[in-house]
Amino acid sequence: MLKYILKRLGSTLVVLFLSSILVFFLVVHSGDPLEDLRESNDPDAPFQMEQRIHHMQLDQPWYVRYWGWLQGMLGCFRLSCDFGTNRDGQQLNPILMQAAQDSLRLVLIATIASIVLGILIGILAAIRQYSTFDYTVSFVVFFFFSLPTFWAAVLAKDYLAIHYNNWMQDGAEFTTGQIFFISLVLAIGVPLVAGGPPLRRLITGVAVGLFSAGALWYFDSTSFALSPRIGAIGLIVMALGLAVGFTALIAGLKNRQVLYTALTVALIGIVAYYATWDFLQDPPGGWFLLGALFVLTIAVCVVVARLMGGYAKGQATAVAVLTGALTSGLILLDHFMYHWPNMMSLKPRPISTIGSHSRRFTEDDVTWWQVNLDLLTQLWVPTVLMMLISLATYTRYTRASMLEVSRQDYIRTARAKGANERTVVLKHAFRNALIPLATIVAFDFAGLIGGTVIVERVFNWNGMGQLFITALQNVDPAPVMGFVVITGFVAVMFNLIADILYAVLDPRIRV
């Protein structure tokens, strides 16, 4: 395996090297970088032209300029990359770092969200093939997939940002008509999608309608949108619900050892919620500390599962890790909710439609939570947009892969041996269905990086896409090369990870 990984890394370097030569040659010969200064009436234009010629080395052949750029890239092997300067003489390293941080944050969140939702929906669609749920999901995901990105981005800005901000400024209140309409739509839609006998659909519709009306009335009466909280009671109920739910899904409630393991992890999470509350009000180290706590959470979950899991240690570990990870996510969400009113006091219209962050949240008197709430609200609209567009890929491939695997002999054998349907679907079918999905994830991640060019243009993000377009318009090769190297390296690395996952998912591939 190590030899294979080294070979792939070597081929990756060759691909990046050859593509960099081609891209550099095309950009250099795509136009005149001095065109704006030649047409300028500014008396200082000749001096500016000399400065640009010096910064861009326009008096040298293209291959000499490329060699100078390549020497800076070779410094990456010494962990001191030098991406050069743009046409104004500014160092590109800090500019590229900030742009890559904004773009990759957007792409990673959208990719993870679309993978999780797409796989879950695809599994359900495969289990209930040709049902109302299957047809509804197919229509919805293909509808979003067919939307032009630039047009969908404009609609998202209007409905998910501007209308939401207006609603927040109006007090975030639901009218009686809105509560009735939303409850009625859910009462009709959920039973149609869920399926089942007519009586069960009727009972489901009534229950969903009453629950929706009650929940909306509660949120409205407590001004939940302006002062949201999960709270201690909510966290206890959700943590215990996660423990029971994951146990039922993976091992079954009859497996008491797994159930007790999951409940123990949930109780540890509830205790940690109280123990770390004051400490996390101003977390030293920010995301680094939270990441370290998350790693500690996973380690504790694994230890508890190994000690209490008994003969079902594998299932206990899976249930404990999922319960602990989502419980820690709920704790983090509650902290963000706690600081939401403070962020609203600085930004009454919380979701902006321009930029990746607000300037007022870079001042020293703003707390860490307020800064990151601003970043998350800026991510909301473009992330949802990119997630919905790529959701169809994962949903349909998961559905098709699950249906193909479910017809295999070993699936019929598992059912004939008396394995319950949960074990057949999750343990036997789903793992083998993940093999083609590993390839799709790698290609889709690269596609989303390209899609950010349009999304960043619409939302005016200073990310990699905006940097790439501006550099192409200015015939400035250094920023374009930085875009190619960073995005190309990330895309190729995801393909490498996909190849490694093949061997993890299917041991026969290792041979």
User: Considering the domain boundaries, does residue 507 fall inside one?
Assistant: no
Choose among 430, 465, 443, 348: nearest CA to 106. 465
- Where would I find the H helices in 339-429? 340-346, 368-406, 409-416, 421-423
Residue range 15-43, pLDDT digits in tens = 888 888 999 999 888 888 888 788 777 78
Choose among 299, 310, 290: nearest CA to 265. 299
Task: Give the dihedral of Cα atoms 296, 301, 307, 310; nearest 10 deg.
Answer: -160
Task: Tell me the average pLDDT across 302-327.
Answer: 91
The residue count of the chain comes to: 511
- Where would I find the H helices in 222-312? 231-250, 256-275, 287-308
β-bridge mates for residue 91, sequence order: 85
Helix, strand, or coil (residue 334): helix
Are the CB atoms for 369 and 339 separated by under 8 Å? yes
User: Considering the domain boundaries, does residue 293 fall inside one?
Assistant: yes
Choose among 75, 101, 81, 25: nearest CA to 480. 25
Rounded CA gap, 73 and 117, in Å?
Answer: 38
Are the CB atoms for 84 and 27 separated by under 8 Å? no
Are the CB atoms for 75 and 81 separated by under 8 Å? yes
User: Considering the domain boundaries, does residue 354 fall inside one?
Assistant: yes
Task: Tell me the average pLDDT across 58-76.
Answer: 87
Query: Mean pLDDT: which of 106-110, 126-130, 274-278, 487-491 is highest?
Result: 274-278
User: Considering the domain boundaries, does residue 407 fall inside one?
Assistant: yes
Mean residue pLDDT across the chain: 85
User: Considering the domain boundaries, does residue 439 fall inside one?
Assistant: yes
User: Considering the domain boundaries, does residue 49 fall inside one?
Assistant: no
Rounded CA gap, 304 and 320, in Å?
Answer: 8
Stated as kind and residue range, the H or E segment containing 254 is: none
Give me the pLDDT at residue 172, please.
80
Rounded CA gap, 279 and 150, in Å?
Answer: 43
* Residue 418 token pair: 């008396």
User: Considering the domain boundaries, does residue 265 fall inside one?
Assistant: yes
Residue range 260-282, pLDDT digits in tens = 999 999 999 999 999 999 888 88
- Give the total number of structural domains in the chain: 1
Residue type (1 letter), 186: L
Query: Mean pLDDT: which of 2-11, 49-58, 188-197 is highest?
Result: 49-58
Task: Give the dihedral of Cα atoms 294, 299, 301, 305; nearest 10 deg.
Answer: 170
Q: With a cut of 70, say whether residue 482 has pLDDT above it.
A: yes
Domain span at residue 324 reads 94-173+223-474
User: Considering the domain boundaries, does residue 199 fall inside one?
Assistant: no
Residue range 422-473, pLDDT digits in tens = 778 877 888 788 887 877 777 777 666 666 777 888 888 878 878 888 888 8
* % pLDDT > 70, the chain: 96
Rounded CA gap, 405 and 126, in Å?
Answer: 10
Greatest distance between any 2 Cα atoms in the chain:
87
